[in-house]
């Protein structure tokens, strides 16, 4: 004969001692998925920062912008600015020499005339003794940043 015994609940501070069910912890698939998404977001962020600040193009862009500031504050002469501009542009484009005969990438072949005009302007300003063309050199700074952006 089995006795039906009722177990009394303990009363603590006027509340019955009943434990709520334990909520299930994240399973391993959810943890793996969250970790994977976190790693992807971190990788994209790292790539964006690297590409903007530490790539050769990023460094060249920063150097050209600093050079433009130095030139506008009259810290360096026009002649020095054009020489340094061509040097930074050459570094950013990863070329040993920039000139009219520089082979353009496939996506820029249609802009060959613009490239030749740009190189002619740089050459004219580099090899003239007295340069007083403020607009030309400012245009060169702007165009060099555009070429850095367009070049693959």
Q: pLDDT tens, 40-94?
A: 999 999 999 988 888 999 999 999 999 999 999 989 988 889 999 999 999 999 9
Q: Which of 5-19, 24-38, 71-85, 124-138 has the lowest mean pLDDT?
A: 5-19
Mean pLDDT of the chain: 85
pLDDT of 102 > 80? The answer is: yes
Radius of gyration of the chain measured on its C-alpha atoms = 33
**Are 64 and 57 contacting, i.e. CB atoms less than 8 angstroms apart?**
no
pLDDT band at 149 (very low <50, low <70, confident <90, very high): very high
With bands split at pLDDT 50, 70 and 90, how would you rate the model's confidence at 15? low
Q: Domain segments of the chain: what residues?
A: 57-150
Give the Cα separation of 148 and 152 in Å (integer).
Answer: 8
How large is the average pLDDT for residues 100-126?
A: 91
Q: Is the pTM of this model over 0.85?
A: no
């Amino acid at each position: 004969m089995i006795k039906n015994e009722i177990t009394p609940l303990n009363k603590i501070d006027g509340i019955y001692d009943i434990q709520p069910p334990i909520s299930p912890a994240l399973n391993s698939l959810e943890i793996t998925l969250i970790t994977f998404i976190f790693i992807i977001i971190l990788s994209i962020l790292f790539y964006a920062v690297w590409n903007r600040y530490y790539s050769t193009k990023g460094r060249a862009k920063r150097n050209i912008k600093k050079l433009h500031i130095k030139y506008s504050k009259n810290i360096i002469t026009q002649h020095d600015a054009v020489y340094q501009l061509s040097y930074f542009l050459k570094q950013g484009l990863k070329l040993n020499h920039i000139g009219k005969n520089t082979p353009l990438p496939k996506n820029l072949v249609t802009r060959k005339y613009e490239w030749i005009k740009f190189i002619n302007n740089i050459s004219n300003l580099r090899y003239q003794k007295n340069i007083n063309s403020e607009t030309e050199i400012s245009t060169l700074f702007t165009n060099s940043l555009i070429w850095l952006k367009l070049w693959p």
